[in-house]
Chains A and B, each alone.
Chain A
Amino acid sequence: MTLYISVAICIATSVFIIIPFLIKYKSVRLDDSTHDQEPKSSIDLNKEIISMQGEKNKLYSELMDIEFDYNLGKITENDYKELRSKYMGRTAELLRKIDEINIKPGSGTGDVIEDEINKFKKNVNSN
């Protein structure tokens, strides 16, 4: 009985490991392939945008942290302005990159960033 179970385990393991070679993939290459000459598929672009969105939310969190530290009196007004300006610049750059893929005009402007930060804050506070 033990022998049969052991054989079954061996077979099951082997099948599980071999299955990926039997699946047809939309792209056989890894996602960060540098050999790819063909245009990125919409799935790959989506993944890139998702990653950038994660980065964007991280920058928004940083901006909220800076504002929070300023309200707590832990950073001076000059440092607050400088840090805020630095992170706003990074966010603008990131939004421009996102919109290069998405073709959304005028999204790198300060007003749009402020708008998005406020939306992000609202969503965070309502949870």
Chain B
Amino acid sequence: MAIAGSISIFLSFVVCIYVLIASVLSARLNRRDLLNSAKNGVISICLLLIIAAICLVNSLVNLDFSLKYVALNTSTDLPLIYRVTALWAGQAGSLLLWSLILSIFSALVVIFNRNNNTKFYSYVITTLAAVSCFFIFLIAFVENPFQKLPFIADEGRGLNPILQNGYMAIHPLTLYIGYVGVTIPFAFAMGALLSGKIDDEWIKNSRKWILFAWTFLSVGLLLGARWAYLELGWGGYWAWDPVENAAFMPWLAGTAFLHSVMIQERKKMLKKWNLILIILTFFFAIFGTFITRSGIISSVHSFAQSDIGPLFLGFITLILLFSFSILWYRNDQLKSEDQFESILSRESAFIFNNLLFLSMAFVVFLGTIFPILSEALTGEKILVGPPYFNKVNVPIGLVLIFLMGVGPLISWRKASKENLIKNFLFPIMTGVSTSIVLLILGIREAVAVLSYSLCAFVLSTVFIEFYRGVRVRSGRGENYLLALTRLVSKNKRRYGGYIIHIGVALIVIGITSSSVFVTQKEVTLSRNETVEVGKYTIAFNGLQRYQNDAKNATAAFLTIYKGSDPVGQLVAEKNIYKYEGNREINQETEVGLRSTLMDDLYITLTNFNNNGKASFRIIVNTMVSWIWLGGMVVLFGAIITMWPAPFKRRQESSVRYNLGADDHTAKV
């Protein structure tokens, strides 16, 4: 199987080179057969990499320790599910996954556009092939997942126990789908620039792909945050870790692009800006992969150092140089067809939104690469921590929340005084009332008051949009439920976007609450002793030790009371895993967690002794569940936005004409 896998990878590299050359030649020589051959090549690469992935998964599941990758990432005691997900646990496997996902997406592009035989599509395929060539080169010649060991190992190194978690099992996959998904709109943009077809076609093709990629990046970020919250034991979910930042930057640039395309579609403006945005989004996606995989910045996520760093750096440099060169070459063709008329307009709101998202991305980028720069210049690696990121990004974030409320209600072109009063009076009143109520309730933290008030402002703007829309439809005789359903189904893009905004507001409320209103206590208890933390009383019932094939565990049993009423039992564990060839080298904690909408009670067993005493870190995190809930709402909104139109309506957009002299019927 390993041989078949290796051959598939090498063959896919050869075919990729062919596709790259054939697609360029098809555009230069104007040859349809070359283009179709290149398209078949794209599909072949996909099938070959699927074969390679199946071979690797087979080797992982069957614990073929003759392969270096299998020996490094699995062990005989590893559950089946983690043997499968070990496909993306290590360097070589995750690069194979990247290549595989890109090949699947490229094949989908070819299939969806099988009847398109234009220079534009030739160059789209060229771009996809160029990116694929790089990644397949890495797995073929630098980090081959089928590399053999000179011996057959008796046992594998196993998977780091903190990665043996459901969220972490799918988090890399969702992020990779997001990263790779960004490549497709980038390819459409390059296709437009290289062919000179700088109309809206590339935007039209890109919009659903960028939304798809953005959705997976969002889900991936939240899954990673949830994993960190459950597994790392410090009670937080985001630490501005370099690898977290690596996924956040393309998300920020992608969000800016998602909004900005609306202006080009509606007003034929910002053509150059959108091209720059998608180039930057793609750059951040590749840069993110580079940070994660090269080990250039030490991080709790980066478990490997490798030879691919300089290659990635070269590839990134090439992307930027080539993309901006071709953009500069086409500069004259990228003039806007309309102009900004007023600073008080939806266009301006979107521009400010873009600038702020990009500013945030730049701030995160600078903070992430600062350790490398400092080491290069001074010889000393200076890490940049949360205070820098929070200090700069929190104010930017608050303004973005404000714009999230303004955008849906403000007019295109120029907002009149009547428009502003009519549309914004209620939301502003809601925001101001919220802040007054919070102050009356005794909340004095300025960031919290501002954040909650802005979220109330946003939620009320969304409410108004739904209310007015339902009112207009119910005026035609529909009942409210039917009006609401049809309002959303007939305007999926708009109302799906509003639902996403609701989700984001919920996430912001969760982040604000869990950052500002946290109660934490470190305590050592003997058996049957209690401690009060916030509104909870926690009674320590004792320790129990057990072991299984994977670990030696010490579990602390706790009973939780609210007042005098018991509300549940929790177990917090400290485990020593049999890891790396059965040597006891790693400790890991399992958090005792009680989650409600109002707060999370989060207990970590930090230490214990043979006298039965145990030390705990006890945290009450306010409203942190709103983050995960908001994430689900965002996902729901994104699905609505991406949902395809009914088949009949899609048929309407392809009308066939008979060109016979007497028959001009259009079948709709």
Residues of chain A whose beta carbon lies under 8 Å from any beta carbon of chain B: 2-3, 5-6, 9-10, 13, 16-21, 23, 25, 27-33, 35, 42, 45-47, 49-50, 53-54, 57, 62, 68-69, 71-76, 79, 83, 102-104, 119-120, 123-125, 127
* Cβ contact within 8 Å between A9 and B51: yes
Please pick, from A20, A33, A103, the residue contacting B37 in the complex, using a CB distance under 8 A. Answer: A20
* Cβ contact within 8 Å between B15 and A17: yes
B197 and chain A: residue at smallest CB distance: A32
Q: Given the complex of chains A and B, what is the CA–CA distance between A120 and B41 in angstroms?
A: 40
Q: Given the complex of chains A and B, what is the CA–CA distance between A125 and B403 in angstroms?
A: 32
A103 and chain B: residue at smallest CB distance: B664
A25-B32, A73-B468 given; 14 more Cβ-contact pairs under 8 Å: A13-B11, A20-B37, A20-B39, A23-B36, A29-B30, A30-B32, A30-B122, A45-B659, A50-B654, A62-B266, A71-B472, A74-B411, A76-B411, A103-B664
Chain A residues closer than 8 Å to B116, beta-carbon distance: 31
Q: Given the complex of chains A and B, what is the CA–CA distance between A68 and B487 in angstroms?
A: 11
* Cβ contact within 8 Å between B117 and A16: no
Q: Is B33 an interface residue (CB 8 A)?
A: yes
* Cβ contact within 8 Å between A13 and B15: yes
Q: Is B67 an interface residue (CB 8 A)?
A: no
* Cβ contact within 8 Å between A46 and B656: yes
Chain A residues closer than 8 Å to B425, beta-carbon distance: none
| Distance in Å: Cβ of A1 to nearest Cβ of chain B | 10
| Distance in Å: Cβ of B352 to nearest Cβ of chain A | 19
* Cβ contact within 8 Å between B653 and A74: no
* Cβ contact within 8 Å between A53 and B653: yes
B416-444 interface (Cβ within 8 A of A): 416, 418-419, 422-423
* A–B Cβ pairs within 8 angstroms, 27 of them: A2-B1, A3-B3, A9-B48, A9-B51, A10-B7, A10-B11, A13-B15, A13-B47, A17-B40, A25-B32, A27-B32, A30-B30, A30-B118, A31-B118, A33-B30, A50-B654, A68-B469, A69-B412, A75-B412, A79-B411, A83-B413, A120-B652, A123-B649, A123-B668, A124-B649, A127-B648, A127-B649
Q: Is B35 an interface residue (CB 8 A)?
A: yes
Q: Is B119 an interface residue (CB 8 A)?
A: yes
Q: Given the complex of chains A and B, what is the CA–CA distance between A72 and B465 in angstroms?
A: 8
Q: Given the complex of chains A and B, what is the CA–CA distance between A25 and B36 in angstroms?
A: 11
A54 and chain B: residue at smallest CB distance: B653
Q: Given the complex of chains A and B, what is the CA–CA distance between A10 and B47 in angstroms?
A: 12
* Cβ contact within 8 Å between B657 and A46: yes
Known: A6-B7, A62-B266, A75-B412. A29 touches B31 (CB 8 A): yes
Please pick, from A20, A42, A75, A104, the residue contacting B36 in the complex, using a CB distance under 8 A. Answer: A20
Chain A residues closer than 8 Å to B655, beta-carbon distance: 49-50, 53
* Cβ contact within 8 Å between B649 and A76: no
B7 and chain A: residue at smallest CB distance: A6
Chain A residues closer than 8 Å to B409, beta-carbon distance: 74
* Cβ contact within 8 Å between B659 and A53: no
Task: Indicate the size class of the contact surface on chain B.
Answer: 35 or more
Chain B residues closer than 8 Å to A20, beta-carbon distance: 33-34, 36-37, 39-40
Q: Is B350 an interface residue (CB 8 A)?
A: no
| Distance in Å: Cβ of A58 to nearest Cβ of chain B | 8
| Distance in Å: Cβ of B434 to nearest Cβ of chain A | 24
A52 and chain B: residue at smallest CB distance: B655
Q: Is B26 an interface residue (CB 8 A)?
A: yes
Chain B residues closer than 8 Å to A13, beta-carbon distance: 11, 15, 44, 47-48
* Cβ contact within 8 Å between A72 and B472: yes
* Cβ contact within 8 Å between A104 and B120: no
Q: Is B553 an interface residue (CB 8 A)?
A: no
A29 and chain B: residue at smallest CB distance: B30
Q: Is B477 an interface residue (CB 8 A)?
A: no
Known: A17-B37, A74-B409. A9 touches B26 (CB 8 A): no
Residues of chain B whose beta carbon lies under 8 Å from any beta carbon of chain A: 1, 3-4, 7-8, 11, 15, 18, 26-27, 30-37, 39-41, 43-44, 47-48, 51, 115-120, 122, 195, 197, 266, 409, 411-414, 416, 418-419, 422-423, 465, 468-469, 472, 490-491, 645-646, 648-649, 652-657, 659, 664, 668
Chain B residues closer than 8 Å to A74, beta-carbon distance: 409, 411, 419, 423
Chain A residues closer than 8 Å to B195, beta-carbon distance: 32
| Distance in Å: Cβ of B148 to nearest Cβ of chain A | 14
* Cβ contact within 8 Å between A17 and B41: yes
Q: Given the complex of chains A and B, what is the CA–CA distance between A71 and B621 in angstroms?
A: 44
Q: Given the complex of chains A and B, what is the CA–CA distance between A124 and B668 in angstroms?
A: 12
Q: Given the complex of chains A and B, what is the CA–CA distance between A36 and B367 in angstroms?
A: 54
| Distance in Å: Cβ of A118 to nearest Cβ of chain B | 13
Please pick, from B8, B36, B423, B490, the residue contacting A124 in the complex, using a CB distance under 8 A. Answer: B490
Please give me the 10 A-B residue pairs with the lowest Cβ-Cβ distance, nearest first.
A20-B36, A20-B37, A32-B118, A6-B7, A72-B468, A53-B655, A127-B646, A13-B44, A20-B33, A57-B653
Known: A2-B4, A72-B468. A30 touches B35 (CB 8 A): yes
Please pick, from B119, B656, B664, the residue contacting A104 in the complex, using a CB distance under 8 A. Answer: B664
Chain B residues closer than 8 Å to A103, beta-carbon distance: 664
Q: Given the complex of chains A and B, what is the CA–CA distance between A35 and B28 in angstroms?
A: 12
Chain A residues closer than 8 Å to B645, beta-carbon distance: 127
Q: Given the complex of chains A and B, what is the CA–CA distance between A31 and B117 in angstroms?
A: 6
Q: Given the complex of chains A and B, what is the CA–CA distance between A91 and B650 in angstroms?
A: 20
* Cβ contact within 8 Å between B418 and A76: yes
Q: Given the complex of chains A and B, what is the CA–CA distance between A6 and B30 in angstroms?
A: 34
* Cβ contact within 8 Å between B37 and A83: no
Q: Given the complex of chains A and B, what is the CA–CA distance between A76 and B44 in angstroms?
A: 55
* Cβ contact within 8 Å between A16 and B40: yes
* Cβ contact within 8 Å between A73 and B649: no
* Cβ contact within 8 Å between B423 and A73: yes
Known: A30-B32, A124-B490. A76 touches B419 (CB 8 A): yes
Chain B residues closer than 8 Å to A3, beta-carbon distance: 3
| Distance in Å: Cβ of A55 to nearest Cβ of chain B | 9
Please pick, from A16, A68, A71, A123, the residue contacting B44 in the complex, using a CB distance under 8 A. Answer: A16
Chain A residues closer than 8 Å to B654, beta-carbon distance: 50, 53-54
Chain A residues closer than 8 Å to B411, beta-carbon distance: 69, 74-76, 79
Q: Given the complex of chains A and B, what is the CA–CA distance between A71 and B26 in angstroms?
A: 50
| Distance in Å: Cβ of B261 to nearest Cβ of chain A | 13
| Distance in Å: Cβ of A27 to nearest Cβ of chain B | 7
Q: Given the complex of chains A and B, what is the CA–CA distance between A74 and B468 in angstroms?
A: 10
| Distance in Å: Cβ of A88 to nearest Cβ of chain B | 16
Chain B residues closer than 8 Å to A73, beta-carbon distance: 419, 422-423, 468
Chain A residues closer than 8 Å to B1, beta-carbon distance: 2
Chain A residues closer than 8 Å to B39, beta-carbon distance: 20
Chain A residues closer than 8 Å to B40, beta-carbon distance: 16-17, 19-20
B26 and chain A: residue at smallest CB distance: A30
Chain B residues closer than 8 Å to A46, beta-carbon distance: 656-657, 659
Chain B residues closer than 8 Å to A31, beta-carbon distance: 116-118
* Cβ contact within 8 Å between B423 and A30: no
Q: Given the complex of chains A and B, what is the CA–CA distance between A76 and B41 in angstroms?
A: 54
Q: Given the complex of chains A and B, what is the CA–CA distance between A1 and B210 in angstroms?
A: 43
